[in-house]
């Protein structure tokens, strides 16, 4: 049976998602990293009135056309405490940064360009043009303007903008819930003493970190042992937590102890695909269990994480309404640092070290050993070098594409 290409597999996964998760209102202080559910409009104009951009004097530019000009200081305007009167001919108001511009004033003379007198007057030493150091009303935005769009993952700048728009809470998508089940008699939890044939489970924690980074909520459902009864027991526990996505780790291959597909098929799994043309991560499963999206990830740690990067993260982003989710992880150009042999029929994602180069594209150099059980290389890597199926030999210095792990981890 022909292996499914990576792009086709991603399209199938995303096509099986029914739609974004519901929205909820969340206080602004808790919205960092959350995905906006609806376009957000400004509730006010910013600034709501003309303000000074500098400390100095508010003047009528016409009174300062000939310098030096001597003006009478009739008051003071500070942020939160503006001068309420009008400025007449030959008058000025002492003003500070962020303060409202008095009526009739149309320019600011910075204090460095003035000389205060003891008699309540000020000498203007530089002629300001109209609008000099004035921030007009609406310079930043106007009331009703759409400034943040649905699907956006909110960063610190977005939070500041939403606050300035006068929003105390925001409509965001509920975090997609992702249930994680590790499978295998060989697994023990970190901190436990492994038996003679056991290893420490690491995938659960890596997947939880990737899920959290993508905007989801990870639900650790524990380890299912290698019996149909125990796989079924843990799956039912996971379903009771009402997840949006069910993830299994391991048990996705064809061995006698790989029970996930058989067990889930017995309770209604509609299999979408199984096995894809990718290295690492060939034994990936996808399907629907009722309305639940199911992804069966390989047990090898690196395979599981690469599959999570390429398929789970876009699925979570699609559930959050991200319009860029169908494009998957963004690819970036680089220059190959070493020679590579021709590739086979599987799309390759090679752990690699990315090194910046002044004035040019970065250099990317894959590690010599790419065994999918080796987490040490993954921890040292900052990129995944991508090689297309049947890619010919590549020489050092040729252009290549990569995924930046900092974008995902």
Could you count the other beta carbons within 10 Å of the beta carbon of residue 193?
7
User: Contact at 8 Å (CB) between 383 and 402?
Assistant: yes
CATH number of 26-43+142-173: 3.90.105.10
Question: For residue 343, what are the contacts with CB-CB under 8 A and spacing of at least 6?
Answer: 387, 388, 389, 390, 391
Strands (E), 174-242: 177-183, 187-188, 199-200, 217-224
> Contact at 8 Å (CB) between 64 and 80?
no
Q: What are the structure tokens assigned to 92, written together?
A: 């000025």
Q: What is the pLDDT, as a whole number, of residue 376?
A: 86
> How far apart, in whole angstroms, are the C-alpha atoms of residue 344 and residue 388?
9
Distance from C-alpha of 165 to C-alpha of 158, rounded to nearest angstrom:
10
Residue 294: strand pairing partners: 246, 287
Tell me: domain 51-135, CATH 2.30.140.10, correct?
no
Using CA atoms, how far apart are residues 339 and 365, in angstroms rounded to an integer?
A: 9
Pick the closest to residue 158 from 46, 44, 47, 40 (CA basis).
40
**Residue 167 in tokens:** 């929003």
d(CA 1, CA 106): 77
Burial 8-44 (b: 16+ CB within 10 A, else e): ebbebbbebbeebbebeebeeeebebbbbbbebebee
Alpha helix ranges (H) inside 215-367: 228-240, 260-265, 301-307, 313-319
Q: Domain locations in the chain?
A: 6-21+175-327, 26-43+142-173, 51-135, 331-407
Distance, CA of 367 to CA of 274 (rounded, Å): 28
Looking at residue 1, what is its pLDDT?
61
Question: Do the strands 91-95 and 69-77 form a parallel or antiparallel pair, or are they unpaired?
Answer: parallel
Q: Do 233 and 183 touch, CB atoms closer than 8 A? A: no
Whether the Cβ atoms of residue 29 and residue 145 lie closer than 8 Å to each other:
no
Contact 337/365 with Cβ under 8 angstroms? yes
Is residue 175 exposed (0-12), middle (13-18) or buried (19+ Cβ within 10 Å)? buried
Q: Supply the pLDDT for residue 95.
A: 98
Q: What is the pLDDT of residue 377?
A: 85
Cβ atoms of residues 32 and 159 within 8 Å: yes
CA dihedral sign, ordered 249, 254, 257, 259: positive
Could you say which of 3.40.50.300, 3.40.980.10, 3.40.50.2020, 3.40.50.720 is the CATH number of the domain covering 6-21+175-327? Answer: 3.40.980.10
What gap in Å lies between CA 6 and CA 21, rounded to an integer? 25
| CA proximity to 350, closest of 323, 381, 396 | 381
d(CA 68, CA 58): 16
Cis amide linkage into residue 280, ω under 30° from 0: yes
Under CATH, which number does the domain 331-407 receive? 2.40.340.10
Single pTM value for the model = 0.89
How many residues can be counted in the chain?
A: 409
Q: Mean pLDDT, consecutive 10-residue segments, the chain of 409 residues?
A: 90 94 98 97 97 98 96 97 94 97 96 95 97 97 98 97 98 98 91 90 94 96 93 96 96 64 93 94 94 94 94 97 91 97 96 94 95 86 96 97 90
DSSP state of 377: H
How far apart (Å, rounded) are the C-alpha atoms in residues 400 and 316?
28
């Amino acid at each position: 049976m022909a292996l499914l290409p990576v792009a086709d597999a991603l399209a199938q996964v995303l096509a099986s998602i029914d739609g974004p998760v519901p929205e909820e209102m969340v206080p602004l202080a808790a919205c960092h990293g959350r995905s906006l559910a609806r376009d957000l409009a400004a509730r006010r104009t910013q600034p709501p009135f003309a303000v000074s951009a500098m400390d100095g004097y508010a003047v009528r530019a016409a009174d300062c056309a000939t310098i030096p000009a001597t003006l009478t200081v009739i008051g003071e305007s500070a942020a939160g405490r503006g001068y309420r009167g009008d400025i007449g001919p030959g008058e000025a108001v002492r003003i500070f940064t962020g303060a409202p511009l008095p009526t009739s004033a149309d320019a600011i003379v910075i204090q460095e360009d003035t000389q205060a007198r003891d008699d309540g007057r000020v000498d203007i030493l530089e002629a300001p043009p109209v609008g000099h150091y004035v921030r007009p009303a609406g310079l930043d935005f106007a009331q009703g303007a759409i400034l943040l769009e649905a699907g956006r993952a909110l960063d610190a700048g977005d939070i500041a903008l939403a606050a300035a728009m006068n929003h105390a809470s925001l409509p965001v998508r509920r975090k997609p819930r992702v249930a994680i089940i590790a499978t295998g008699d060989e697994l023990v939890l970190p901190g436990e003493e492994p038996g003679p044939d056991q290893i420490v489970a690491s995938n659960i924690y890596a997947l939880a970190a990737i899920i959290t980074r993508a905007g989801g909520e990870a639900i650790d459902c524990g380890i299912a042992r290698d019996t149909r009864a125990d796989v079924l027991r843990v799956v039912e526990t996971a379903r009771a937590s009402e997840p949006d996505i069910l993830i299994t780790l391991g048990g996705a291959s064809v061995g006698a102890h790989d029970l996930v597909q058989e067990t889930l098929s017995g309770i209604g799994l509609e299999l979408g695909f199984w096995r894809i043309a990718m290295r690492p991560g060939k034994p990936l499963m996808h399907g629907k269990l009722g309305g639940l999206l199911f992804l069966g990830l390989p047990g090898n740690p690196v395979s599981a994480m690469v599959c999570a990067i390429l398929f789970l993260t876009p699925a979570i982003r699609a559930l959050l309404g991200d319009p860029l989710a169908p494009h998957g992880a963004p690819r970036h150009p680089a220059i190959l640092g070493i020679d590579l042999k021709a590739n086979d029929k599987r799309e390759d994602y090679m752990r690699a070290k990315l090194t910046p180069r002044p004035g040019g594209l970065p250099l990317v150099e894959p590690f010599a050993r790419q065994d999918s059980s080796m987490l040490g290389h993954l921890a040292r890597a900052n990129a995944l070098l991508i090689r297309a199926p049947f890619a010919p030999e590549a020489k050092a210095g040729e252009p290549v594409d990569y995924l930046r792990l900092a974008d995902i981890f």
